[in-house]
């Protein structure tokens, strides 16, 4: 990976364990995926097509 190329991520507040974490874009570029850093609950956020979705980078998850 190039030094100046950073991985795209979403910041998320995991309400289940009251902690912050990140979801990283999958290899296919179709979703952001990850797990709660404490309880390991899986999270999957689909990436919209053709301009659908939001420009927000931080979210609250339950």
Q: Is residue 2 part of a domain?
A: no
Split into its structural domains, the chain has a count of 1
Q: Is residue 30 part of a domain?
A: yes
Q: Is residue 15 part of a domain?
A: yes
Q: Is residue 1 part of a domain?
A: no
Instruction: From 24, 3, 2, select the one nearest 12 (Cα to Cα).
Output: 24
Q: Is residue 53 part of a domain?
A: yes
Q: Is residue 4 part of a domain?
A: no
Residue 23 structural domain = 9-61
- For residue range 3-48, what is the model confidence (pLDDT) as tens digits? 567 888 999 999 999 999 999 999 998 999 999 999 999 999 998 8
Q: Is residue 13 part of a domain?
A: yes
Taking the complete model, does pTM exceed 0.85, yes or no? no
């Amino acid at each position: 990976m190039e030094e100046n190329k950073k991985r795209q991520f979403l910041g998320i507040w995991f309400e289940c364990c009251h902690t912050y974490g990140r979801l990283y874009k999958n290899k296919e570029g179709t979703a952001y995926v990850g797990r709660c850093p404490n309880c390991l609950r899986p999270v999957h956020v689909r990436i919209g097509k053709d301009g659908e979705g939001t420009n927000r980078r931080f979210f609250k998850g339950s």
